[in-house]
Amino acid sequence: MSESSPGVGGLTFDKSRRTRPPELNVFAALVLITVVFEVLGRVLMDNSFLFNTRDNVDAIFNEQRLQIIILQVSIIGIIALGVTQVIILGGIDLSSGSIVGATAMIAMSFAQVAEVNGMPNPKGMFLEQGWVDLPVIIPLLVGLTCGVIAGGINGLLIAYTGIPPFIATLGMMVTARGVAKWWSKGQPISFPTDSYAAIGAGMTPVFIFIFLAVLFHLILKYTVYGKHTYAIGSNEDAARMSGINVARHKVLVYVIAGMLASLAAIVLSAKNLTAQSGMGIMYELDAIAMAVIGGVSLSGGRGSILGTVIGALIFGVIISGFTFLRLDAFYQEMVKGAIIIGAVVLDQWRQRQNGGKA
């Protein structure tokens, strides 16, 4: 017989029906996957995945691998922070990868130097106009504006025309990719200023990702914006009747998602010191997968930034683990696909369980 205590109005609290935070389950999966790679490394390669095995290095953990794991997911993780809010709202965003491509091309064209090795920049987009060696704030503002425009168009179409989010963002995905190819007629854009390149140097992308993750975690948890986002995702009609301006809030969420995608583009192009029209392909699916693995419900109304961060780390561990085991890259795609399907199946199962209890 389960222990219970009296509650308000004659209701009782059953301790046996308490559930763990979903983030704890995701973290347990992260630990399990890490342990599996550690065991496989010891058995198959006589090497450690997580710990340092070199005598000439005074460290317990393999710090280089840990840095690589975090670094390789940080840029897509920035996109996932925006995608998480869109999914909690009850929507979806398929355009973020293409926004990355378009923004990278446009922002980089305003971040170029005038001369390369004493000669005029051979790839200078606006060399004749003199728009070179500009302060770093200019390409930053231009890039973020691209995200605001793309996200705003997504939000306006979804909120005021009734177009399903899947269709609206799919259209933006195709359009933005076309803009990325049209901007420089398919040619890459290179040679940024030192101040622009510093945005993607070293571990800076990781610091940006962590800062934004903490910021939006606090915003979703403690502000009216967060409460409205969860309310609309849980029951849009009830949110509208409670006085929430649903249409305006949808536009705001999609604008924020667009801005985060454009920021990721700026960081990516600065890190690579070049921009190409094919940048960001499939990033939107990886970002959605990180959110879903982190416990964000595709039905809306449930999820957290913390869970998405852990989901991103799971992705990083899987990619690094397969590289560590020297397995071909296409195995990573197979495993990621299986994980995405498994996460969605688990989400549907949780919804049925919650519905049954209700």
List pLDDT tens digits, range 108-133: 999 999 988 888 888 888 988 889 99
Per CATH, the architecture of 23-37+66-348 is what? Orthogonal Bundle (1.10)
Distant-in-sequence, close-in-space partners of 232: CB < 8 Å, separation ≥ 6? 89, 90, 239, 244, 246, 249, 250, 300
**Residue of 235, 245, 143 whose CA lies nearest to 189:** 143
**Hey, where are the domains in the chain?**
23-37+66-348
Identify the top-confidence range among 51-60, 69-78, 314-323.
69-78
DSSP E strands in 143-280: the ranges are 189-190, 274-275
Angle at 24 between CA 307 and CA 22, to 5 degrees: 60
pLDDT digits (tens, 9 = 90+) for 206-216: 999 999 999 99
Q: Is 51 exposed, middle or buried (0-12, 13-18, 19+ CB in 10 A)?
A: middle
- Collapse the DSSP code of 13 into the 3-class scheme (helix H, G, I; strand E, B; otherwise coil) and give the result: strand
Look at the block and give the residue holding tokens 């959110």.
291
pLDDT digits (tens, 9 = 90+) for 237-286: 999 999 999 999 999 999 999 999 999 999 999 999 999 999 999 999 99
Query: In percent, how much of the chain has pLDDT > 70?
Result: 90
Q: Is 202 exposed, middle or buried (0-12, 13-18, 19+ CB in 10 A)?
A: exposed
The pair of structure tokens assigned to 133 is 């060696």
- Collapse the DSSP code of 126 into the 3-class scheme (helix H, G, I; strand E, B; otherwise coil) and give the result: coil
Q: How far apart are CA 126 and CA 106, in angstroms?
A: 11
Strand partners, 4: 14
Q: Are the CB atoms for 87 and 298 separated by under 8 Å?
A: yes
Averaged confidence pLDDT in the chain? 88
Number of Cβ within 10 Å of residue 96's Cβ equals 36
Task: Quickly list DSSP for 55-68.
Answer: TTS--SB-HHHHHH
pTM for this predicted structure? 0.89
Query: In percent, how much of the chain has pLDDT > 90?
Result: 58
User: Which one is predicted more confidently, 322 or 353?
Assistant: 322
